[in-house]
Homo-oligomer: A and B are copies of this chain.
Amino acid sequence: MFSQTSEYALRVIVYLAGCNGEPATNRIIAAGTLVPQGYLAKVLQTLSRAGMVKSQRGLHGGTVLARDPHTLTLFDVVQAVDPIRRIESCPLALLAHGKQLCPLHTRLDQAIGGIEKILRNSTIADLMESKSKHRPLALCEPPPKLPKRKARTTAR
A interface residues with partner B (beta carbon < 8 Å): 1-2, 7, 10-11, 14, 33-34, 74, 84-85, 90-92, 94, 96-97, 100-108, 110-112, 114-115, 118-119, 122, 126-128, 130, 132-136, 139-141
> In the complex, are the beta carbons of B1 and A140 less than 8 A apart?
no
Other-chain residue from B107, B112, B134 in contact with A1 (beta carbon distance below 8 A): B112
> In the complex, are the beta carbons of A141 and B1 less than 8 A apart?
no
The quantity of this chain's copies bound in the complex is: 2
> In the complex, are the beta carbons of A100 and B133 less than 8 A apart?
yes
Name the B residues within 8 Å of A84 (CB-CB).
1
> In the complex, are the beta carbons of B10 and A104 less than 8 A apart?
yes
A155 CA / B42 CA spacing, docked (Å):
61
